[in-house]
Each structure stands twice: as structure tokens, then as C-alpha cells.
Structure 1
Amino acid sequence: MKTVNILVDCHVFDGNLQGTTTYLKGLYQEMIKDKTKMFFLAAFNVENLQTVFGIHSNVVYLRYSSQNKFFRLLFDIPKLITKNKIDYAHFQYIVPPIKKCNYIVTIHDVLFLDFPQYFPFLYQIKNKFLFKYSANKADVVLTVSQYSKEKIEEHFGISNVKIISNAIDLVYFEKYNKESEVQIVKNKFNIENYFLFVSRWEPRKNHHTLLKSFVENSYYKKYKMVFVGDDAIENKSYNQYYNSLDNTIKQQVVRLKNIGFQDLIHLVRASSVSIYPSFAEGFGIPPLETIAAGIPTVCSNTTAMSDFSFIGNCLFDPTSIEDLNLKIENALNDNLLQEKQNTVKIKYNWELSAQKLIELL
């Protein structure tokens, strides 16, 4: 039987951690266990890619000649597909215009079409065209949740979208010593006793409502508020509210950027409560990761996050600060953490997701 050659566009590993890096890492760490297939993992920083996936007999690392996205899509990828006799090439959101093999595209969400107020106008126009073009050109169209599947099919007029769910890295389920983790974070970041929100910075993530709750309920007298995530789109509502605060309160608010994976693990484990107040998500990995780590977790109940019904009385309406206040108190007294952790481990499993994709191919 002919070996199936699969190229994976891994250019996202050349930048900072984001949802697509988590997706590709989890999915293909499992996929490469299938020795009947050859995997060609392509990026500019191949050395970094090797640290993520390791050395395997059925994995070949390919280096892009440029970090420019247009050069990559127009020249690098078609050339690599032809040279390595690729059968399937897997992309995130956008496929190359020159088709040299079967295309797989994962479109994680189309939130900019349902929540245009949170996205720049040019971003909306450009990506509506590119995502729809890619969905129609690809042989296999994937997404990560039922919510995203329905929205992609509705907006792009297609009916063949398959769900390959996000899942949780097993490191989050590992047992750890809470006191040791607290000390590690205290030594490195000089913080302890804190609320945690992990997400890149943009208005739809709703940082401002969380900060208001933190201030209005005087949590700053006992806790710090730690925001972990890189800049994406400016949140003017947050900036205006934060600038109005007294300096004694501002000192309790911490922003951390460019955080590596191991430091993120420590920050999660050492936190007192994790809160995810986003207005809209195509999936929503961070609250599942903190639940997996045994951290009391509050999560928004909208869009794809409505699937997280097992979070129970710690789900809240992100438009209601009163509801958020109540659910933070519920989380601080949550006695169902072990049950929630078990649910996440069973339901959001990369082995299951990888097997679904193998069956699709």
C-alpha cells in the first residue's frame, strides 16, 4: 500500500503561543503515532518545531525560505508539495491559490461575521473572502466546535464541515504541589493570591468587565488580577476604566506578555481562580485547561462555550457583571472540581480527535 504523505503548515510555531499552535501540537503529536503515514512539518524555524514534535522515523521537517506569508503561500508551499509528492496538505484558515494536492483547511471560527463590532472593518472584508475561498477550494473542511460548524456552513453556503475538536494537553492533568507552584510564581513574577485570565488582548475577550468586578467587589484587598496574553486589538473600554483607578488598585493589576508554555503552566497551577469572560469564542481552550489543572474556574456561557454545561453554577452571562460576581463566589467555594476535571479528560482528548481525522482521510 502506498504511504500517505501529509504536509502540515506549521508557520504559527514561528510566533508566540496561540490557539492554532495548541491545536496543531495536540493533534499532530497524536497523528504521528500512525506509522503508516509520513508527516512533513513545515516552518521557518525548524529547530523550534523539532523541540515540539521530536525526532521520528515518519516525520520530515521542511524549512520555508521566507517568513513572508505571501511568499510562503504562493511559492514555498507549492514547491514543497511537488518535491515531496504530498497527498494532503493541512492549513489553518487560508489555503494557497495554486492547488498541487488534496487540501485540508481548519477554520476555527468566523466570529468576525457574527460579531463585527469587535473586529476592524478591513479584517472583516479580507478574511470573509479568504476563508470562504479556502473553504470552497479545500477537499476537507474542519472546525473545532458545533457552534463554529453551524456558523461556517451558514455564512459560506456549504454543508460538509467536519468537527475535529480541540483537546487538552495532558500536562495540565499532572499532579503537582500547590505550595511549590505558588513559590515558583512568587519568585519569578513576584505575585501570589491572584485571579487569572489567559487570553490575547482584544475587546471581545471582555477584560474590562472582569476588571470592574475585581474592583467593585474589593477583591483587590486580598487578590491580584493577572492578565496573561499578548496584544492583538486595543480595548478602549478597558483602558478608560483602568486609567480611572486609584494607584493602590492599579498595583494589584498585573499584565504579562510573551509568556512561554512552562511559565504558563506554573501561572495556572499557582492561581486562586481562573476567569474566562469572553463574549464570543469558536471554542475556548483556557477554561478547560485550568479545570484540568484543578483550578476553580468561571466561564462565559455564550457561543461555543455554551457546550461546557458541566461547569454548572460557574457559567455566567458575560454581559452581566452581577452574574459574574455571583459565579466568582461559586468558584471560590467549588467542591466539584474533581468531577469537572474527569469530564474534561474524557471528553476533550487529542487521541480521539486524531483518530477522527485519520478516519476522515
Structure 2
Amino acid sequence: MKIAFDGKRFFNNSSGLGNYSRDLVRILATYFPENKFVLFNKNQSEKGIDILKLPSVSFVETSKGNFSRQLLMGKDAQQNDADIFHGLSGELPLKWNDKPIKKVVTIHDLIFLRFPQYYSFFDRKIHFWKFKKAAEQADLIIAISEQTKRDIIQFLKVAEDKIKVIYQGCHQAFKEEQNEHFINSVNVKYKLPERFILNVGTIEERKNLLNIVKAINGTEIPLIVIGKKTKYFKKVQKFLRRNKLNKQVCFLENVSMDELAVIYKLADIFVYPSLFEGFGIPVIEALFSKTPVITSNVSCLPEAGGKDSVYVDPYNFEDIKAKILFLWNNESERRRRAEKSLEFIQKFNDDKISNELMQAYESIL
């Protein structure tokens, strides 16, 4: 079987959709090396270079021209005798020739429809058109959570039997045991407190960092934040200054994946009260790191967190505060929840996900 992938996110995105694309290709090539996996894009980058070294993975430069991704990439995959084309980020090429090829698209979320206030009118219209068109073209839609599946049915009016839920995993770094020397070097490099709570994710309104900051106000609990800053950061910064919390909250930048894995492990608690997610990969990263999680009781987050994570109303910072204090002051409860969650999280292991992906491909051939 030869499977072609839209490689844009694989090569161009450092996190999020990029991580999903790289992990998906990596685990398929690792567990099913008898197949061929071909990445199509205008160019390569350093991202995922180790995956391209796997014998069953190759790169093809797409045809040149305006809108080549939309108009030429599909035909290029057909000319390369691909059996399946998989769009990894909610899109499929618009043009194809008559050569047979099956089409799969992964849809991560429809947040632009659930929270339109975070998107411009133009972006909402473009996103909807692309996702709707891809859903119509696809022989199979992969949703990364049951929540996303429900949204696809509701907003895109797609028949349920055309959608398969296949969860995403996380980077191998979070499943490995780092050596003591490296752990100590990360500790020293970032001047980490002896104990701290952690938040990871883009610093934007939907991720709800301000309510974490409000929750720790009046406590002495250190908070480490890792994520790309947006204009919402100024809102958080204003609250920090007004309440003299600047020394209690530390923002880290340019953290590598291996360093991030260590910081997850060193944290007492991972706090993630997002207002809405398609999946919530940081929750998975924390649970693989044996760090107990406090997250929201909305959208797909209970799917990712399992029954032993602690759930909060993300709009209620007093609820967040109470749950943080509950775990912060109870080491045995933190350990119990981390151990139980590690059992639950095995459903997101690479072998299980790769098998589900391959079965999905085979089902449409």
C-alpha cells in the first residue's frame, strides 16, 4: 500500500498540527514498514528529518505553480501511484485526475464555529468552506475525539458512518525516562522552583491562563507557563503586575521537546482549564509524564483525562483554586491519581493508534 500525505504541517509547524503529522507518519512507518509513506510538499525542513530517514518514508516535491497545494498536489499523488491520499489538517486538494485514489482527511476541531469571536469573519468563512469541501470529498474522515465527531455531524452535516474516531498520541519523549544528569541540567537552566504547577499551551484567551493566575493569587504556589504568547498575554501580564505576582509566575521560552518532557515530570500538578479543545494533547503529555492533571469538565477533555484526573468549571477560578490546593497539599492523592492515570493512558500508545489507522485505510480500499 502506498499512502500519500499533505506534508505542509509536517514540515512547517513546530507544534500542534505539526506534531500530529510527524507522530502519525512515524508510528505508521515504525509498525507497518512494508508499506510506502510519501510526504508531498513544496520543500523539506529540519522538522521530522529523523522520520524521513526511515526506509519506508520518502519526500516528493510538489509541482510548481500558484496554489499548487490545492490544485496540483492531489494529481501528483495520483501520478506517484498512491492508493490513498491523507490530508492531515482538515484539507484535501481540490483537483484530481481520473486515476483511482481514496481520500482521507483528519479533522481536529471546529473551534472556529463554536467560538467565532476568536476568528475574523474572513477566516471563519474560509475555514468552513475548506472543511466542508474536504468532508464532502473524503471517503473517510478521521476525528481525533468523540467531541470532534459530534461537531462534524452537527456543523458539517456529515453521516456518522463516514467518520472514525482515532485518538492521537504524543511525542516519544514523554514516555521515556531521562537520565539524572539531563534532568539536573534542565532544572539549573530554567531555575525551576523546588515545587511548582505547570501550564503548557499557546497563551490565548481560549486556553484560559488568566483564571489559573487568579486561582493562585493569595497562595505561594509557583506557576511555570510554557507557550507562545499572543496579545492575550498583555491581559495576563496586567493582572500579574496589579497583584504583585510577577515573581510567582514564570514564563519559559524556546524549550525543546526533551526539556519539556523533563519539566512535565518535575511539576507537582499540570493545570489546563481550557474553554474548549479538539483533543487536548498537553493532558496526554502530562499523564504519560506521571503528573496528575487538573483540567476542564467540558468538550473532549474528560476523554483525554480519564476518570482519575481532577475536573473544574473553567469559568470559575475559585473552583480551580480549590482543586489546586486540594492536590498541592496531598502528596498521596497526587501519587494515586498519577499511577491510575498511567494505566488509563495506555490507550493512546503508538501500537494501538497505528493499528487503528491501518485498519481505517484498509477499510476503504
Report if TM-score (shorter chain) is over 0.5: yes
**1:163 alignment counterpart:** 165
**CA offset digits 1:27-63 (Å, max 9, x no partner):** 2222123244211023455352553414233222223
Instruction: Give the Å deviation of 1:237.
Output: 4.2
Instruction: Give the Å deviation of 1:117.
Output: 2.8
| 8 Å Cα contact 1:25/1:52 also seen in 2 | no
* Structure 1 residues 311-326: aligned runs within 5 Å: 311-312=307-308, 314-326=310-322
* Number of residue pairs the alignment of both structures matches: 348
* CA distance 1:114–1:186, change in 2 (3 Å): same
- What SS does the corresponding residue of 2:359 show, helix, strand or coil? helix
Give the alignment's Cα RMSD to 1 decimal.
Answer: 2.5
Residue type matched to 1:59 in 2?
Answer: V
**1:186 alignment counterpart:** 187
| 8 Å Cα contact 1:181/1:269 also seen in 2 | no
Alignment equivalent of 1:59, drawn from 25, 39, 57? 57
TM-score by length of 1: 0.87
**1:88 alignment counterpart:** 84
**1:37 alignment counterpart:** 35
**1:304 alignment counterpart:** 300
**1:17 alignment counterpart:** 14
* CA distance 1:117–1:194, change in 2 (3 Å): same
Residue type matched to 1:139 in 2?
Answer: D
**2:117 alignment counterpart:** 117
Residue type matched to 1:154 in 2?
Answer: Q
1:197 aligns with 2:193: no
* Structure 1 residues 209-248: aligned runs within 5 Å: 209-219=211-221, 223=222, 225-231=223-229, 234=232, 237-246=235-244
* CA distance 1:72–1:232, change in 2 (3 Å): farther
* CA distance 1:28–1:212, change in 2 (3 Å): same
| 8 Å Cα contact 1:181/1:270 also seen in 2 | no
Mean Cα displacement is larger for which, 257-266 or 153-162?
A: 257-266
- CA distance in structure 1 between the partners assigned to 2:230 and 2:262 by the alignment: 24
* CA distance 1:231–1:9, change in 2 (3 Å): farther
Residue type matched to 1:132 in 2?
Answer: K
Q: Give % identity.
A: 24
Instruction: Give the Å deviation of 1:318.
Output: 0.7
| 8 Å Cα contact 1:313/1:330 also seen in 2 | no
- What SS does the corresponding residue of 2:38 show, helix, strand or coil? strand
Instruction: Give the Å deviation of 1:250.
Output: 1.1
* CA distance 1:181–1:55, change in 2 (3 Å): closer
Alignment equivalent of 2:2, drawn from 1, 5, 12? 5
**1:141 alignment counterpart:** 141
**1:286 alignment counterpart:** 282
Mean Cα displacement is larger for which, 117-126 or 151-160?
A: 117-126
Gaps of 5+ in 1: none
| 8 Å Cα contact 2:74/2:85 also seen in 1 | no
Residue type matched to 2:93 in 1?
Answer: P
* Structure 1 residues 167-178: aligned runs within 5 Å: 167-176=169-178
- CA distance in structure 2 between the partners assigned to 1:243 and 1:65 by the alignment: 52
